[in-house]
Chains A and B, each alone.
Chain A
Amino acid sequence: MLSIKNLHAKIEDNQILNGLNLEVKPGEVHAIMGPNGSGKSTLASVLAGREEFEVTDGTVEYLGKDLLELAPEERAREGVFLAFQYPVEIPGVSTINFMKTAVNQVREARGQQPLDAVSFLGLMKEKMKLVEIDQSLLNRSLNEGFSGGEKKRNEIFQMAMLEPKLAILDETDSGLDIDALRIVANGVNKLRDKNKAIIVVTHYQRLLEYIVPDFVHVLYKGKIVKSGTKELALELEAKGYDWIKDEVAVV
């Protein structure tokens, strides 16, 4: 469903992605690991359509479409979801109000009627259970004054509400204690199905014990330098990234 070929991207004068290739099929979970600054969040931003990043070469095909041609909101409406590494605060706008606007705009783009208040509330209650989030949190200004864990949980709640086809989770596990991690992972797992794909960006093997990936990739200096199965994550955890850096240096 997602086919990234030779992707190059830069911001201002910094070349960050340098020929990245990745194939994701429906139903798969891919984990992307790599040292800080290797370009993981950049990849997520480019896929979501953040304009500051300029794609200088390569292609991205998503469900038969040229993803790079679509505006960010169109990508979202086509089912691309990004759980942000740093969720943004919007004062005065509750998560509920925010999601109502989002859900209805997505529905409108798909030619569906907007949800009335009752159906929306029903949907919300169902998804709230999934990520064990409290309604009082959703009544508050979006992410304002939320703890790190609450922000991440809120991202997964939004993901549940929007039912994406391709979800990209950017370090959703960082800053979570073990209980929160379990809850978030459970939420994600419940959303897994054979038509949906997930890309999990993480530093830690820990998350991958809960969300078991089909593939693990190592991103280094803007390129995927190694791919494997979940055992690769264990190896990385044990040995760190230096051996990969050495391997790359040799090549």
Chain B
Amino acid sequence: MSKDNQVLEEITSKEYEHGWSSNIEMESAPKGLNEDIVRFISAKKNEPEWLLEWRLKAYRQWVNMKEPKWPNVTYPEINYQDVIYYAAPKQKVKPKSLEEVDPELLKTFEKLGISLTEQKRLTGIAVDAVLDSVSVATTFKEKLGELGIIFCSFSEAVLEHPELVKKYLGSVVPMNDNYFAALNSAVFSDGSFCYIPKGVRCPMELSTYFRINAANTGQFERTLIVADEGSYVSYLEGCTAPQRDENQLHAAVVEIYAMKDAQVKYSTVQNWYPGDKNGKGGIYNFVTKRALCAGDHSKVSWTQVETGSAITWKYPSCVLKGDYSSGEFYSVAVTNNYQQADTGTKMIHIGKHTKSRIVSKGISAGHSQNSYRGQVHILKRAEGARNFSQCDSLLMGDKCGAHTFPYIDVENNSAKVEHEATTSKIGEDQIFYCLQRGIDEESAVALIVNGYAKEVLNQLPMEFAVEAQKLLALTLEGSVG
């Protein structure tokens, strides 16, 4: 066996850092899914009748849909009747303020480095913290409220701002868009809601932090961001889960609605539990994220750093409907050990002079499989549309795989579409060059990988870029090849 392979075999991956679970009293629905469960969830949340009807409609469609088999991933059949669809921390009364939130819950988030006590928070970020199915706290609500910004849990939005929710829910991702979106529409539990009024520039980062805690429980959260004319918001989503031997299902939906001249920047650092080094356990992350650039000159930018999950199936997309609207997708997807990722984006150009830019950086190590799947569709109307795509793959070792599936459909001759793709290996000589300067192997890999992913990492808000860099290094620890 060559030296490279030997090093590869010694997968010394540091254990997943967020693998602990908290001891919080939970209330959950019985296992399985049927109309009664949907009713149960809706009742738990005191939802209005229209929403229950919406959920039931989604459920009835889901029952007749088939799980997609086209992604380049393999996993055992999921038994959807073996999943718990609702779990919530038991809180006697609904907390009115942070002071009333169960200290055990606050501790859970403190441990993740997320302080929900506002005094301790960096003033630049407001957080909505979601544990299992329920939002436990949202910070800086009042301060944002002064500007007319609504930032709260989805459940709260349903009760407090039903007209907005009713208008935009499903307007970007229809309930029957795909199998997992339909499932989510039927059983979604909580998530974040955000509305930025006309002309308002949100003065701080908004972020949602998702944490799965309960065992055998699926997480189905829903995020809805509505950016009114000329507004701006930067949004960040983070996520972790305890280390468990069984696989857990996460099927979220994120919808972004951008009106004329609005700008939304959505960044994700996805760090769900990836399973152990032999591929046992880990989250199945089947997520639908889409933005509708409804108004002219609107702009949505997705940035994702995907390091976690056993399986990732995710294509943050932009529907560029408004003229001169633009969409961006910046992605770093790292897979190690037995992780599988099939991720990419869709850019649908409908409006005239719409622009999109795709920068995807895949990094595969161990026995993992990493696929980029991207669609660029220029419709007939999209006069003068432009797209640029850059898809790079970096391989570490010889047991992993990198795949690129670009789909390009151009129906308007005036469109300009450029696609570039490269595949490279971390070179022995790059690593040796670093070693020769006194840099140890782990740091050398971190340096090279961060250099490779720099264009994407640069898109992240400052403090998260640093976190993401560390995460990349951590994910790849011990996988030099």
Given contacts A50-B432, A101-B443, contact A90 B451 (CB under 8 A): yes
Are B430's CB and A72's CB within 8 A? no
Q: How far is the CA of A93 from the CA of B469 in the complex (A)?
A: 13
B438-481 vs A, Cβ < 8 Å mask (1 yes, 0 no): 11110100011011111100000000000000000000000000
Once bound together, how far apart are the Cα atoms of A82 and B453, in whole Å?
28
Question: In the complex where A90-B448, A141-B451 touch, is A102 in contact with B433 (Cβ < 8 A)?
Answer: no
User: Is there an interface contact between A90 and B436, defined as CB atoms closer than 8 Å?
Assistant: no
Taking a contact as CB atoms under 8 Å apart, the answer to whether B437 and A158 are in contact is yes
Q: A52 CA to B4 CA in the complex, in Å?
A: 10
Contact A92 B438 (CB under 8 A): no
Is the Cβ of B448 less than 8 Å from the Cβ of A101? no
A-contact 0/1 string along B1-13, CB 8 Å cutoff? 0010000000000
With both chains docked as a complex, state the minimum distance between the C-beta of A46 and any C-beta of chain B, in angstroms: 12
Contacts of B453 in A (CB 8 A): 92
Closest to B458 in A: A92
Enumerate B419-444 residues with CB–CB distance to A below 8 Å.
427-430, 432-441, 443
Q: Are A91 and B452 in contact (CB under 8 A)?
A: yes
Q: Which residue of A lies closest to B453 (CB)?
A: A92
* Contact partners of B439 in chain A: CB under 8 A: 73, 101-102, 105
B residues less than 8 Å from A88 (CB atoms):
427, 429-430, 432-433
B445: min CB distance to chain A, Å: 11
Whether A82 pairs with B435 at a CB distance below 8 angstroms is: no
For residue A76, CB closer than 8 A to chain B, the reply is yes
Residues in B neighbouring A106, C-beta threshold 8 A: 437-438
Chain B residue, CB-CB nearest to A74: B438
Q: Are the CB atoms of B447 and A82 closer together than 8 Å?
A: no
Please state if A73 and B435 are interface contacts (CB–CB under 8 Å).
Answer: yes
- Are B433 and A49 in contact, CB atoms less than 8 angstroms apart? no
Contacts A90-B430, A90-B433 given; indicate if A98 touches B447 (C-beta within 8 A). yes
For B3, the chain A residues whose CB sits under 8 A away are 51
Task: Mark B278-321 against chain A: 1 for CB-CB distance below 8 A, else 0.
Answer: 00000000000000000000000000000000000000000000
Please provide the chain A residues from 184 to 225 with a CB less than 8 Å away from any CB of chain B in the complex: none
Closest Cβ of chain A to B332, distance in Å, is 12
In chain B, residues 368-413, which have Cβ atoms closer than 8 Å to a Cβ of chain A?
none
Chain A hits for B434, CB < 8 A: 90, 98, 102
- B440 pairs with A105, CB closer than 8 A: yes
B432 x A72 contact (CB < 8 A): yes
Band of interface residues on A = 20 to 34
Chain B contacts for A76, CB-based, 8 A: 435-438
Q: Which of B428, B434, B450, B452 has the most CB of A within 10 A?
A: B434
**A82–B438 alpha-carbon span in the complex (Å):** 11
Give CA–CA (A105, B453) in the complex, Å: 23
CA distance A51 to B6 in the complex (A): 13
Decide if B437 touches A102 in the complex (CB within 8 Å): yes
B182-201 contact mask (Cβ, 8 Å, vs A): 1 or 0? 00000000000000000000
Interface 0/1 of A109-142, CB less than 8 Å to B: 1000000000000000000000000000000010
Kindly list chain B residues whose C-beta atoms are within 8 Å of the C-beta of A84.
Answer: 433, 436
Q: In whole Å, how far is A44's beta carbon from the nearest beta carbon of chain B?
A: 10
Q: How far is the CB of B472 from chain A (nearest CB, A)?
A: 12
Complex CA gap A102/B437 in Å reads 6
* Nearest-CB residue, chain B, relative to A93: B451
A153 interface contact, C-beta 8 A = no
Known interface pairs A106-B438, A162-B438; A92-B429 also in contact (CB < 8 Å): no
Question: CB of A71 within 8 A of chain B?
Answer: yes
Question: Is A77 a contact of B451 with CB atoms below 8 Å?
Answer: no
Which residue of chain A has the shortest Cβ distance to B448 in the bound complex?
A90
**Selected contact of A90 from candidates B428, B440, B441, B447, CB within 8 Å:** B447
| Distance between Cα atoms of A247 and B477 in the complex (Å) | 53
In-complex Cβ contact of A93 among B427, B435, B450 (8 A): B450
A131 to chain B, nearest CB (A): 16
Residues of the B chain whose Cβ atoms lie less than 8 Å from the Cβ of A169: none
Q: Report B-chain residues with C-beta under 8 Å of the C-beta of A109.
A: 438
Given contacts A77-B438, A88-B430, A88-B433, contact A105 B443 (CB under 8 A): yes
Decide yes or no whether A48 CB sits under 8 A from chain B: yes
CB of A197, distance to nearest CB on chain B (Å): 17
Q: Which residues of A contact B430 (CB under 8 A)?
A: 88-90
With both beta carbons as reference points, the residue of chain B lying nearest to A102 in the complex is identified as: B437
**B408: shortest Cβ distance to chain A, in Å?**
26
A149 within 8 A of B: no
Docked CA distance A98–B430 (Å):
12
Could you say which residues of chain B place their CB within 8 Å of the CB of A93? 447-448, 450-451
Q: Which of B117-154 contact A (CB under 8 A)?
A: none
Closest chain A CB from B344 CB (angstroms): 21
Interface residues of A in 58-84 (CB under 8 A from B): 71-73, 75-77, 81-82, 84
Q: Is the CB of A92 within 8 A of B451?
A: yes
B403 to chain A, nearest CB (A): 22
Residue interface bits B171-189, CB-to-A below 8 A is 1, else 0: 0000000000000000000
| Pairwise interchain contact A87-B437, C-beta atoms closer than 8 A | no
In the complex, are the beta carbons of A48 and B451 less than 8 A apart? Answer: no
Central interface residue in A51, A77, A92, A99, by most chain B CB within 10 Å: A92
> Which A residues are in CB contact (< 8 Å) with B433?
84, 87-88, 90
15 contacting pairs across A/B (C-beta < 8 A): A49-B435, A51-B3, A73-B436, A76-B437, A84-B433, A87-B433, A88-B429, A88-B430, A90-B448, A92-B453, A93-B451, A102-B437, A105-B440, A106-B437, A109-B438
Q: Beyond the given A76-B437, A93-B447, A101-B447, could you list 16 further A-B residue pairs with CB under 8 A, ordered by the A residue number?
A: A51-B3, A72-B435, A72-B436, A82-B436, A87-B433, A88-B429, A88-B433, A90-B430, A92-B453, A93-B448, A93-B450, A93-B451, A99-B437, A102-B437, A105-B438, A105-B439
Closest 7 CB pairs of A and B: A92-B451, A93-B451, A76-B438, A102-B437, A92-B454, A72-B435, A88-B433
